[in-house]
Structure 1
Amino acid sequence: MRLDAYRHIRRGAWSVRRSSRVVGHVPTLILADVRFVVRQAARRRIVRTMQREVCAHVQGIPTDAARPLEARRVRFSPYAGPAFTLEDGTPIAAAALVFLGVDGACWAVMGDVECVR
C-alpha cells in the first residue's frame, strides 16, 4: 500500500498519511518506488502569504530495506522553486528508494538499489 510522508516540523518527525488521513509519526522511514509530489496551488499560496502549510510530500511503498548506500540528497523549498531538487539544483520527480532521516534529511537512490545493513 502506498503512503504519503512529509516532515512535521513541530513534532520533529515524519507524518505518515494513508488515504489522506494521518496514521502516525515516525522518526525515520524508507520508501520504495517513490514519487515526489508538490501541490502547486498550495506552494503559490505559501509564497504569497509567507505562512507554512503542507504543500509537498513523498509517496511510496514502505520497505524494510537498510540505509541507501549511494544516495543523493533531495531538498524542497516552496520559495526556491516548484519541484524537489537534488543538491545541484536538478529537479527530481521519482526515485527507486528514499530514506527519510531523523534529522529531516531526504536521501534518494535513482537506479539499482544497493543497501548496507
Structure 2
Amino acid sequence: MAEVYRHRPRGLWSVRECGRVVGHREAIALVGVILRASEAARLRCLRTGARDVHAWAAGTVADLPRPEGARRLLYRIQEPGFRVEGAVVTRAAAAWFEADGSAWCEGGEG
C-alpha cells in the first residue's frame, strides 16, 4: 500500500511505502483509497505555523485514466478532513493526483 501527499516545495506528489519516501511523481492514481488527516497535527500547524505532513491518501497504485465523472477532492488546513463538494470523505474507490496539484476521486464516502 502506498501513501501519497503533496510535496509543495518540489511541486510533486511524494510516494511513501512502509513509512519511507520511495519517490516523487508528477501524477499518480490510487484504488481502494483511505484518506487520513490528523486533527491534532492540523491544529498544531495552525497554532504554530509549522508545516508538516498530516494529511495523505493511502491505497494501491494503479494505471487508470481519470474518468469524466470524477469529483474534485480538497484538503485545506483551515477545516478538518478531506472534502468532496463540502462533505467530509474518508474513503474512495479511486483517486487521481494530477500534475497541476489537483486531486480527484470517484466513489467518495464519509
TM range (shorter): over 0.9
2:88 to 76, 86, 91: 91
What CA distance in whole angstroms lies between the structure 1 residues aligned with 2:67 and 2:95? Answer: 8
Paired residue for 1:19?
A: 18
1:82 correspondence with 2:80: yes
Quote the Cα distance in structure 2 between the aligned partners of 1:53 and 1:15: 13
Alignment of 1:106 with 2:96, yes or no, is no
Quote how far apart the aligned CAs of 1:69 are: 2.5
Matched, 1:55 2:61: no
Cα distance in structure 2, aligned partners of 1:31 and 1:68: 13
**Matched-pair identity in %:** 38
Runs of 4+ with >3 A deviation: none
- Give the whole-Å Cα distance in 2 for the aligned partners of 1:59 and 1:91: 16
How much is the aligned-residue C-alpha RMSD, in angstroms?
1.1
Q: CA deviation at 1:24?
A: 0.2
Would you say the 8 A contact 1:68–1:97 is kept in 2? no
Unaligned runs of 5+ in 2: none
Relative to total residues, which structure has the larger strand share, 1 or 2? Answer: 2
TM-score normalised by L of structure 1: 0.88
Distance 1:102 1:83 in 2: 22
Gaps of 5+ in 1: 112-117
Question: Counterpart of 1:67 in 2: which secondary structure?
Answer: coil
TM-score (norm 2): 0.93
